[in-house]
Structures are given as C-alpha cells and as structure tokens.
Amino acid sequence: MRQRELAALAALACMAHAASGQRAGPADAQRFEAGRFTVLAYSGDAQLARSLLAAAQNRDTFPGLPRPMRRVTIALAPDDARFAEWVGSAFPEWGAAAAFPATHEIVMHGRRTGSASGDPLVVLRHELAHLALAEALGELPPRWFDEGYASFAAGEWGREEVLATNIAFALRGPTTLAALDSAFSGGASRATAAYALAHRAVAELSTLDPSRGLALFFTYWRETRSLDRAMRQAYGLTQDGFEERWRSRTRRRYGMLAIVTDVGVVAGGALLILLPMFVSRRRRQKERLETLRKREEDQARRARESALDALLSRDDPQQ
C-alpha cells in the first residue's frame, strides 16, 4: 500500500540516515544486500530476509515499465507494535505492508506477525511495483491505478473473487474509477472491494493491446502527463470510454455470478436454520406415532383379555 503523506519521511522511526545517505538499521538488525536491494531484519527473520532478497533479485521487472534503477530498503518488523511504529499512525490497522516512494523504502511484517499478512513474496512484489511505478511516473497515477497496477503486477488474481460473492456489486455494478480512491481508506471491507475493482481495471487496460500491453500507454503517459491523452494515443479510447467498457464488462463477467453465489449462500443459510426445525418436527412426529402405537397395542391387549375372560366365563361348569 502506497502512502504519500509526510509520514513517509519518518516511516522507519528507529532508523537514522548514515553518512552515505543510506538508512542504518537498529543495532541488533542484520543487513542482507544484493543488487539494488537491502533487507533489514532481526535475527528471527534472517531466513525470510534471504528469501525476499532472492525473490526481489530474480524478478526485478514490472509489466510495461522500464527496469527500475533506484536502491530499495526493505525493513521486516519483528512484531505488530514495531510495524505500527515504523509505518505511522495514518496507516490502516489491516494493512499488510507499506511502500514509501519518497525514500524508496518498504516496511513488512516479519514471520511472527501471523498469516493475515498474506504470502510475503506476493506482498513484497506488490510493494515493489508501487516503487517501480513511482520511479517511472512520479505522482501521475491516481490511487486506483497505483493500487490496481501493484495488484496486477503481483499477480493477485484472487482479489477478483470478492466480485463473485458480492450481491451489492451485482445489483449496482462497479463504482466509478474516481470514487475508488476514497474507498481504499473506507475500512477493510470497502478497501477489499476497491482493490478487486482496481485490479480488474488495470488488467482490462492491459488487454487492449495484446502485443505491447501497458508499455506504449506508459510511454504516452510520461510524455503527455495526461491519463486521458495516453489512453487515446495508446488504445484509441477516451478515459470515459474505457471506464464505461470496464464497468460494463466487469458487471457482465461477475454480476450474475455474484447473484447466483449469494442465492446459494442464502439458501445454505436458510437450510441451516430450517434443518434443526425439520429434525425437531420429525422427532415430535415420531414420538406421537410411538405413543399412538403403544396406546393401540394396550387397547388391543385389553380387548383380548376381555374376550378371553368372557370366553372362560361361558365355559365355566359352575355357572
């Protein structure tokens, strides 16, 4: 997640600038370096640091962008408290990592912070994509594109699953691209849907030129400094035209699936509610039938006994 606030300048509060201009880690932090990457980690995260460093080195290109050149520092927080301290109070509590383009730094959770942070290799790729996009285009990309591109570059196709299980989306369709920007800070639920829609938008944009993807579009965007003009030149679509295409295709692709999925969920929930009632009713019916059966057996027994008594009475010679 990209943070443009001034808090980026103090993101790693416990780290200070060294004379060379590089950040120096805490006294007990280890430094792992390769190529343009430096990972700062406590001893418990050494293996994770090596894995992240190798992944960053082995896959250091991003769709449509020139190869990044700036050095990147990645800090692994050993616990939730340290993570919150390093990213600042403006960062949402549900966030998994933070990228700071102003200083080309990334803060991530270490291995002790739980599985809610997601796959660390995917998280790192997402954050590195933020930095690569900022290095190439600066402040040009709006929030929806920034987050959508990072998700697209990281291969987070699972984000779109939320669109297939959202009945509100199915009925209303996707919101506007401009409205997505505020949704990223509207709580975890709204942000989840916003990430999915932004991912879908950038993925849709990349398919408009099957041979070059986003490369020509990024070139025109840098030259014209205009998202609309870049879309016109690269894809022959206005920004409004692309937005209408994105809304239409997204709703057609996921709308009915969301309705069907939600109907299935509702039906399943209703079944869970009604099943105990059905079982209870069947039990009561069984108990009533058993009571009637015993009553009938008792009546039949008494009738037999009465008939036998009458027969014995007639055959008694003393009468």
261: tokens are 């999925």
Least Cα distance to 12 among 41, 34, 54, 32 occurs for 41
Q: What is the pLDDT of residue 212?
A: 94
Average pLDDT over residues 190-205: 89
Q: Is 210 strand, coil or helix?
A: coil
**DSSP conformation letters of 41-68:** E-GGGHHHHHHHHHHHHHT---TTSPPP
Q: What is the pLDDT of residue 174?
A: 62
Who wins on pLDDT, 104 or 8?
104
90: tokens are 């403006």
Q: How confident is the model at residue 287 (pLDDT cuts 50, 70, 90)?
A: confident
Q: How confident is the model at residue 295 (pLDDT cuts 50, 70, 90)?
A: confident
Share of the chain above pLDDT 90, in %: 45
Average pLDDT over residues 8-36: 55
Q: How confident is the model at residue 92 (pLDDT cuts 50, 70, 90)?
A: confident
Least Cα distance to 26 among 34, 15, 35 occurs for 15
On the question of pLDDT at 107 being above 50, the answer is yes
Average pLDDT over residues 306-317: 58
- CA distances to 119, 166, 268, 277, 282 from 273, rounded to whole Å, are 36, 22, 9, 7, 15
Average pLDDT over residues 84-93: 82
Q: Does the domain spanning 1-138 belong to CATH 3.40.30?
A: yes
Asked which of 4-13, 77-86, 132-141, 198-207 is least confident by mean pLDDT, the reply is: 4-13
Q: Which stretch of DSSP H or E encloses residue 97?
A: strand 97-100
Q: What is the pLDDT of residue 243?
A: 92
Spatial contact of 214 and 239, defined as CB atoms under 8 Å apart: no
Outline which parts of the chain fall under CATH 3.40.30.
1-138
- CA distances to 31, 293, 295, 297, 299 from 305, rounded to whole Å, are 98, 18, 15, 12, 10
Asked which of 97-101, 167-171, 193-197, 230-234 is least confident by mean pLDDT, the reply is: 167-171
Q: How confident is the model at residue 199 (pLDDT cuts 50, 70, 90)?
A: very high
Average pLDDT over residues 22-40: 77
Paired strand residues for 97: 108
Asked which of 59-63, 109-113, 129-133, 201-205 is least confident by mean pLDDT, the reply is: 109-113
Spatial contact of 95 and 61, defined as CB atoms under 8 Å apart: no
Q: Is 165 strand, coil or helix?
A: helix
Q: What is the pLDDT of residue 14?
A: 36
Residue partners of 154: CB distance under 8 A and separation at least 6: 122, 123, 125, 126, 129
Q: CA 5, CA 178: separation in Å to the nearest integer?
A: 19
Average pLDDT over residues 129-158: 94
Paired strand residues for 105: 73, 100
Q: How confident is the model at residue 316 (pLDDT cuts 50, 70, 90)?
A: low
256: tokens are 């009915």
pTM of the model: 0.72
143-153 and 188-206 are packed helices; what angle lies between their axes, rounded to 10 degrees?
70
Q: CA 161, CA 144: separation in Å to the nearest integer?
A: 18
What is the radius of gyration, based on Cα positions, of the chain? 33
Q: What is the pLDDT of residues 207-231, one digit of tens each?
A: 999 999 999 999 999 999 999 999 9
